[in-house]
Amino acid sequence: MSGAFLSLWNDYPAAMAEEYEAWHTFEHVPERLTTPGMLSARRYVSCNSPQSYFTYYEMQDMRTIEHPAYLDLVRNPTPWSLKMRPYFSNVLRIPGETAACSGYGIGGAALVQAYSVARDTAEQALPDVKRALQQMITEARILGFRIAVAEPNQAYEVFTQEQTTDPDAVNVVLLLESGSSKTLCASHDALTAQLTGQLSPRACLRSDIFDLLISYRGDEFHFTRNRRDAAR
């Protein structure tokens, strides 16, 4: 189990979708995976809005996004990355420590939810949430799940977070995987009711069903950024 994961939601203009797809697929994510401690990544698109995306990075631990190699990517973007940044909207970025995960394989779709939850409530509720999700795997209702707990309102140099939460709460990110978005759509309301009933969130920051576009292994990009730039 990875020690942490980084969740990112964003929208992008439909008129630039083709370029966004190319940039994100062939430059942006591969660059991030040259950072020591970045283990894997996945990119998803919303089933409800083709301009809404979710990106998921598994990390060795939270220190991964403090590594000089990662900060260099953030602070010294390529010309292409610099061009693409102004068009991002509805951005939410949550790096968090992995609280639980289970399941096998990678599903073709995921229900991804982010909640603001009182600290004490999260601590007490997460064992019950984990047991409930594990039971869903046993019953073949989902393929697997990932849960992360994060400090709220973490600063990011590139984008201002468009949603802020109470400083005395934590952010809880849940990623539930299935073989298809159709299956998740059919069980969405029941899954959400169960999870919110256990977590009693103060606010829902994100909730959407996504189709998987691409999955990367970190060991595919074992070289440094400078070597990648030279090769390109």
Contact 145, 119 (CB under 8 A): no
User: Are the CB atoms for 70 and 35 separated by under 8 Å?
Assistant: yes
Plot region of 37 (φ>0 → left; ψ -120 to 50 → alpha; else → beta): left
- Residue 179, both tokens: 């073989």
What is the pLDDT, as a whole number, of residue 161? Answer: 76
Check the CA dihedral 172-173-179-180 and report its sign: positive
Helix residue ranges per DSSP H, the chain: 17-23, 29-32, 68-75, 79-84, 119-138, 181-199, 225-231
Mean pLDDT, the chain cut into blocks of 10 residues (232 residues total): 92 97 96 96 96 97 97 96 97 97 95 97 97 96 97 91 83 97 94 96 97 93 58 48
Task: Give the model's pLDDT for residue 218.
Answer: 85
Task: Work out the number of other CB atoms within 10 angstroms of the CB of residue 191.
Answer: 21
> What is the distance between the alpha carbons of residues 170 and 69, in angstroms, rounded to a whole number?
28
Give the pLDDT score at 184: 96
Amino acid 226: pLDDT: 59
Q: Report pLDDT for 230.
A: 41
Q: What pTM was estimated for this model as a whole?
A: 0.93
Measure the CA–CA gap between 127 and 15, rounded to whole angstroms: 44
β-bridge pairing 169-178 and 4-11: unpaired
Query: What pLDDT shows up at residue 55?
Result: 98
Contacts of 103 (CB under 8 A, 6+ apart): 137, 142, 143, 144, 145, 177
CA 201, CA 203: separation in Å to the nearest integer? 5
- Domains contained in the chain, CATH given: 4-231 (3.30.70.100)
